[in-house]
Chain A
Amino acid sequence: MKTLSLLLFTLIHVNLFAQNTVTGKVIDHQGVPIMGANVYLKGTYDGTATIENGLFSFETEKQGGQTLIVSSISFETYSKTAEISFFNNVIIKLKDDVNTLDAVTVNAGTFKAGDNAKVTALKPLDIVTTAGALGDFVGALQTLPGTSNVAEDGRLFVRGGDAEETQIFVDGMRVFTPYSPSANNIPSRGRLSPFLFKGITFSTGGYSAEYGQALSSVLLLNSVDEPQEEKTEIAIMSVGVGLGNTQKWNKSSLSLNTSYINLAPYQKLYSDNNKWHKPVESLGGEAVYRYRFNNDGLLKVYGAYSAVNFDLTQEDINEIDGVRFGLKNRNLYVNTSYKDFLEKDWSIATGVSFANDRSDLKFSSANITDIENSAHFKFTLNKYFSSRYKLNFGAEYFITNFTENYNDDTIENEYGFDNTIFSSFIETDIFFSKNLATKIGIRGEYSELLQEFNLSPRISLAYKSGANSQFSLAYGEFFQNPKNEYLKFNYDFTAENTTHLIANYQYVKNKQIFRAEAYYKDYNDLVKYDTPLALPISSYSNSGNGYAKGLDVFWRDNKSIKNTEYWLSYSFLDTERDYKNYPTNATPNFASKHNASIVLKRWIEAWKSQAGLSYNFASGRTFTDPNKGGFLTEQAKNFHSLNFNYAYLISQQKILYFSISNVLGTQNINGYQYANQTNTEGIFDRRTISPAADRFFFVGFFWTISDNKNDNQLDNL
């Protein structure tokens, strides 16, 4: 017994002797004490939390080298290994966690949609539930400031730039022919179905050095990494039918979608001002295969095929019988991307995209066949040094091969070109603090066809000025090769270029966003030619130039009115350019000075319905009146459109959807066509170009069949 007591005593004694006290204080970068921080020795139960003045103190029996961990919400976790005796009266300064929602974001020029965006101007559902958008992913973006309403075109016109100055990327890879072809004066639609994407970044200027060959804007779409469940989807619409199926396996999944659209029945009921010989008929299919490798690697293969066919006669003031236009287009697009995380915080993203597009056009007596083959290869590496410092660099290679075969009664000719562009970029993201961040990049591009190398620097800076507000600035130079329609006739060009300067102010408070952005764009080396149309015989130069300046304002409020969300956009645009065959500087006819949109959505609980309204306004666009002389000096009347949509959830899996565009039937004017010759009174007659139809109705029934009865196609509309 005595021995035991002795032993116990010795043990306790040793224990007492070995006690160490760890003490210190935890503060933030400004020296303010942090209360409630968790302080402990790694791999032990010894630790405590800091008290009001940031102080902590705890006992430990551990000896030798130990790792002290200090963690607190909204701060980066601190860790230091040292002899236990070192941790006595230590002052520990925690760094702000810059990955939080309230940290500054470098956002000049950019709108983001998706769950992960810190500030969401658009929510995922908005892409498909905005009245007037008609399920086109471009439609909802046209309610954001910075875009111009060009109702007869349907594509994105950003800040005084024409539609081809915007490039679209899916998972970082270029989409070469993003829009379905359409006849003159009929808006084209995006080919990509909106439900494939989980995140959208729409940049109206000043974007990252990772993207090039776009003078005005980039639209970045990220596809879904993993479908949520197996399902079959059926759509029966007033304009066609659709069928989709998703299968999931352990590591992979496959989604298939097909759709058949035929406007013949619709046009029988509601005829428009065109004479259709063959109303629009299109057949499309998409497949996405995803495979997840063990170590976070993800491979995605997206393939889409579509065939469109139509034939019509459109009015023309110079041709009594009108002008006949027929088109058969088929388009194949494949996009493969792979991303993976490597060791030591490196990650890789690489991909290949390929497009084959063939159009057979019949234009009066001419037959034209255009074939475009394009490919994009890209490889990027990303190094994550810390949450405050990231580096991204890579190289890409574009190949375009274009041929056109033209023949009519008298001539037969072939035109075309091959071009490759090699580019590389490097860009870094630096957070100096939670309130100040910058992104600096540079991009180099070499075009083989133009035998030219261009260097474009890009820089943006953001400063958080208050709890809810921040300022951003961006500067960048952007180059883009001349369009295919010129390159097929002439190679002796230099790349067109523009410089962007952007200043942005943003105020975000709980479900309310205010954003104002002023910009200046300077265009140089724009293509000019000296004939009424771009022809093989024209003489071409890069002597064009122009500018665009303006102010974009956005306000979104999801808070003030219960069950209702709305946003307002206003854009002021002042632009002139001298390009194409312009005799002088003028405001191009796709640019309207004032553009405004109001979008309203209301969820009506009792009716299980969402009703949406949108109103678009654009001030009149310019046109040339030969009776008055001058060039693009006249202004057409203003554009108005009020749109309505209504989605009724019959049950979790069945939705009835109805939409009508231009409810009020406002008689809008897209422009005028003047006769080539004067009439007997010496006046040029004119024809008003109005939209093919004033209103458009759409009714659809969507049915989802899955194991789980909660899923529906609301995200599919």
Chain B
Amino acid sequence: MKTIILIATFIFTLNLTAQTPYEKGMGNAFEIWEQGKNIEAIQMFERIASVETDNWLPSYYAGLIEIIGSFTVKDEALLTTKLTRAKAFLDTASSISEDNPEILVSYALLNTAYIAFDGQKYGMTLSGENNGIYNKAETIAPNNPRVLLSKAEWDMGSAKFFGQSITPFCEDVDRAIVLFKEEKQTIPFYPYNGLDRAVEISANCKKEISPKE
């Protein structure tokens, strides 16, 4: 018995210390990202992607950070440069993992960055494209909380624009919260995040639907 425990402990320790270069690299990249060093984080993910040619996650994150960063860009030339680069990362990711709902949602986010920059120019074609992307993602993964949340946010935007009720989409957000809590987090570095945002949106929903409370 003692031997078994010893071996078990040994293996466990070994695991902890002998982190694979992938785990070390990803961990490092997330750390840099959290420090707000977006460019460095993208570069780190880009390097990891050059090694992990059958893993969609590094390219996915490289693209995602680029997209998030482009929402504050004021110059169109820089915007398209960043988003073209982001799209190349997402294309790499989706060539590794086809019809992946997480990547699909990122494509929609990329389009949203264009629309947010100039709705008149990009809105007509890209908002239709986003509708298509969300429908596809929902068909592939009806119980993916991030798909549900992202789609609900998108729908809320246009409902608010037309002065319509956002209640049905708030219900979607609440359903997403349930799904977030049920989600089994088994794959390391998988983008399981989103619960905090869902809770925040749900809280805003309650304020907007019945402001007296």
**Chain A residues within 8 Å of chain B by Cβ, number:** 44
B54 to chain A, nearest CB (A): 12
Q: Does B135 contact A44, Cβ atoms closer than 8 Å?
A: no
Q: Does A511 contact B118, Cβ atoms closer than 8 Å?
A: yes
Query: In whole angstroms, what is the CA distance A102 to B134 when docked?
Result: 32
Provide the main secondary structure of the chain B interface.
helix
Which B residues touch A715, using CB under 8 A?
A: 124
Q: Does B81 contact A73, Cβ atoms closer than 8 Å?
A: yes
Question: Given the known A-B contacts A100-B77, A115-B126, are A708 and B131 also in contact in the complex, defined by CB atoms under 8 Å?
Answer: yes
Asked if B75 is at the interface of the complex by the 8 Å CB criterion, the answer is yes
CB-CB contacts of A124-139 with B at 8 A, as 1s and 0s?
Answer: 1100000000000000
Asked if A267 is at the interface of the complex by the 8 Å CB criterion, the answer is no
Which A residues touch B104, using CB under 8 A?
A: none
CB-CB contacts of B151-180 with A at 8 A, as 1s and 0s?
Answer: 000110010011110000000000000000
Question: Given the known A-B contacts A38-B43, A115-B126, A710-B155, are A229 and B132 also in contact in the complex, defined by CB atoms under 8 Å?
Answer: yes
Which B residues touch A710, using CB under 8 A?
A: 127, 131, 154-155, 158
Instruction: Choose among A115, A608, A707 the residue that contacts B125 (Cβ–Cβ < 8 A).
Output: A115
Query: In whole angstroms, what is the CA distance A120 to B121 when docked?
Result: 9
Asked if A530 is at the interface of the complex by the 8 Å CB criterion, the answer is no
B65 to chain A, nearest CB (A): 13
Q: Does A124 contact B125, Cβ atoms closer than 8 Å?
A: yes
Residue of A nearest to B126 (CB): A115
Asked if A43 is at the interface of the complex by the 8 Å CB criterion, the answer is yes
Instruction: Choose among B21, B120, B127, B154 the residue that contacts A558 (Cβ–Cβ < 8 A).
Output: B120
Q: Which of B9-17, B45-53, B185-193, B197-205 contacts A (4 or more CB under 8 A)?
A: B45-53
Asked if B31 is at the interface of the complex by the 8 Å CB criterion, the answer is no
Query: In whole angstroms, what is the CA distance A715 to B126 when docked?
Result: 12
Asked if A437 is at the interface of the complex by the 8 Å CB criterion, the answer is no
B1-43 contacts to A, CB under 8 A, are: 21, 24-25, 39-40, 42-43
Asked if B128 is at the interface of the complex by the 8 Å CB criterion, the answer is yes
Asked if B72 is at the interface of the complex by the 8 Å CB criterion, the answer is no
Q: Does A45 contact B135, Cβ atoms closer than 8 Å?
A: no
Which A residues touch B77, using CB under 8 A?
A: 100-102
Query: In whole angstroms, what is the CA distance A390 to B131 when docked?
Result: 35
Q: Does A510 contact B47, Cβ atoms closer than 8 Å?
A: no
A131 to chain B, nearest CB (A): 16
Query: In whole angstroms, what is the CA distance A467 to B74 when docked?
Result: 16
Query: In whole angstroms, what is the CA distance A69 to B39 when docked?
Result: 16
Q: Does B120 contact A100, Cβ atoms closer than 8 Å?
A: no
Residue of A nearest to B125 (CB): A115
Which A residues touch B46, using CB under 8 A?
A: 38, 40, 71
A672-717 contacts to B, CB under 8 A, are: 706-711, 714-715
Question: Given the known A-B contacts A198-B125, A608-B162, A708-B135, are A101 and B120 also in contact in the complex, defined by CB atoms under 8 Å?
Answer: no
Asked if A85 is at the interface of the complex by the 8 Å CB criterion, the answer is no
Question: Given the known A-B contacts A38-B43, A115-B125, are A649 and B162 also in contact in the complex, defined by CB atoms under 8 Å?
Answer: yes
Residue of A nearest to B48 (CB): A45
Q: Does A711 contact B131, Cβ atoms closer than 8 Å?
A: yes
Which B residues touch A38, using CB under 8 A?
A: 42-43, 46-47
A569 to chain B, nearest CB (A): 19
Q: Does A228 contact B132, Cβ atoms closer than 8 Å?
A: yes
Which B residues touch A511, using CB under 8 A?
A: 76, 118
Asked if B80 is at the interface of the complex by the 8 Å CB criterion, the answer is yes
Query: In whole angstroms, what is the CA distance A49 to B77 when docked?
Result: 23
Instruction: Choose among B40, B51, B80, B125 the residue that contacts A44 (Cβ–Cβ < 8 A).
Output: B51
Asked if A365 is at the interface of the complex by the 8 Å CB criterion, the answer is no
Asked if B122 is at the interface of the complex by the 8 Å CB criterion, the answer is yes
A389 to chain B, nearest CB (A): 20
Asked if B129 is at the interface of the complex by the 8 Å CB criterion, the answer is yes
Q: Does A707 contact B135, Cβ atoms closer than 8 Å?
A: yes
Asked if A651 is at the interface of the complex by the 8 Å CB criterion, the answer is yes
Q: How large is the interface on B (under 10, 10 to 19, 20 to 34, 35 or more residues)?
A: 35 or more
Query: In whole angstroms, what is the CA distance A69 to B134 when docked?
Result: 36
Which B residues touch A43, using CB under 8 A?
A: 50-51
Question: Given the known A-B contacts A101-B76, A125-B120, are A40 and B131 also in contact in the complex, defined by CB atoms under 8 Å?
Answer: no
CB-CB contacts of B122-151 with A at 8 A, as 1s and 0s?
Answer: 111111110110110000000000000000
Q: Does A36 contact B39, Cβ atoms closer than 8 Å?
A: yes
A219 to chain B, nearest CB (A): 20
CB-CB contacts of A418-444 with B at 8 A, as 1s and 0s?
Answer: 000000000000000000000000000
Q: Does B162 contact A47, Cβ atoms closer than 8 Å?
A: no
Question: Given the known A-B contacts A43-B50, A69-B50, are A565 and B76 also in contact in the complex, defined by CB atoms under 8 Å?
Answer: no
Question: Given the known A-B contacts A40-B50, A101-B81, A115-B125, are A565 and B120 also in contact in the complex, defined by CB atoms under 8 Å?
Answer: yes
Which B residues touch A49, using CB under 8 A?
A: 39-40, 43
CB-CB contacts of A76-113 with B at 8 A, as 1s and 0s?
Answer: 00000000000000000000010111100000000000
Which B residues touch A73, using CB under 8 A?
A: 81-82, 85
Question: Given the known A-B contacts A100-B81, A228-B128, A510-B76, are A40 and B39 also in contact in the complex, defined by CB atoms under 8 Å?
Answer: no
Residue of B nearest to A46 (CB): B47
Q: Does B135 contact A100, Cβ atoms closer than 8 Å?
A: no
Question: Given the known A-B contacts A115-B125, A228-B129, are A74 and B158 also in contact in the complex, defined by CB atoms under 8 Å?
Answer: no
Asked if A549 is at the interface of the complex by the 8 Å CB criterion, the answer is no
Asked if A387 is at the interface of the complex by the 8 Å CB criterion, the answer is no
Query: In whole angstroms, what is the CA distance A711 to B132 when docked?
Result: 10
Asked if A593 is at the interface of the complex by the 8 Å CB criterion, the answer is no
Q: Does A708 contact B121, Cβ atoms closer than 8 Å?
A: no
Q: Does B121 contact A74, Cβ atoms closer than 8 Å?
A: no
Residue of A nearest to B157 (CB): A710
Asked if A42 is at the interface of the complex by the 8 Å CB criterion, the answer is yes
Q: Does A124 contact B124, Cβ atoms closer than 8 Å?
A: yes
A700 to chain B, nearest CB (A): 18
Which A residues touch B132, using CB under 8 A?
A: 228-229, 708
Query: In whole angstroms, what is the CA distance A44 to B46 when docked?
Result: 11
Q: Does A708 contact B134, Cβ atoms closer than 8 Å?
A: yes
B185 to chain A, nearest CB (A): 25
Query: In whole angstroms, what is the CA distance A194 to B123 when docked?
Result: 17
A338 to chain B, nearest CB (A): 23
Instruction: Choose among B48, B122, B154 the residue that contacts A115 (Cβ–Cβ < 8 A).
Output: B122
Asked if A324 is at the interface of the complex by the 8 Å CB criterion, the answer is no
Query: In whole angstroms, what is the CA distance A435 to B77 when docked?
Result: 15
Asked if A652 is at the interface of the complex by the 8 Å CB criterion, the answer is yes
Which B residues touch A603, using CB under 8 A?
A: 120
Residue of B nearest to A38 (CB): B43
Residue of B nearest to A199 (CB): B125
Which B residues touch A711, using CB under 8 A?
A: 128, 131
Instruction: Choose among B39, B50, B125 the residue that contacts A42 (Cβ–Cβ < 8 A).
Output: B50
Query: In whole angstroms, what is the CA distance A115 to B161 when docked?
Result: 23
Query: In whole angstroms, what is the CA distance A47 to B50 when docked?
Result: 11
Q: Indicate the member of A47, A565, A652, A710 with the most B CB atoms within 10 Å.
A: A710
Q: Does B124 contact A229, Cβ atoms closer than 8 Å?
A: no
Query: In whole angstroms, what is the CA distance A510 to B70 when docked?
Result: 16
A53-88 contacts to B, CB under 8 A, are: 69, 71, 73-74
Asked if A488 is at the interface of the complex by the 8 Å CB criterion, the answer is no
Asked if A388 is at the interface of the complex by the 8 Å CB criterion, the answer is no
Q: Does B47 contact A45, Cβ atoms closer than 8 Å?
A: yes
Query: In whole angstroms, what is the CA distance A69 to B74 when docked?
Result: 30
Residue of B nearest to A37 (CB): B43
A158 to chain B, nearest CB (A): 26
Q: Does A510 contact B50, Cβ atoms closer than 8 Å?
A: no
Q: Does B128 contact A229, Cβ atoms closer than 8 Å?
A: yes
**Pairs of residues from A and B, 5 with the lowest C-beta to C-beta distance, nearest first:** A101-B77, A38-B43, A228-B128, A228-B132, A708-B131
CB pairs A–B below 8 angstroms (19 shown): A40-B46, A40-B50, A45-B24, A45-B25, A45-B48, A71-B46, A97-B81, A101-B77, A101-B80, A101-B81, A102-B77, A115-B122, A229-B132, A511-B118, A558-B118, A558-B120, A603-B120, A608-B163, A710-B154
Q: Give 13 A-B pairs besides A40-B50, A49-B43, A100-B81 with Cβ atoms closer than 8 angstroms.
A: A38-B47, A40-B43, A40-B46, A42-B50, A45-B48, A47-B47, A100-B77, A229-B128, A229-B131, A511-B76, A608-B162, A652-B162, A711-B128
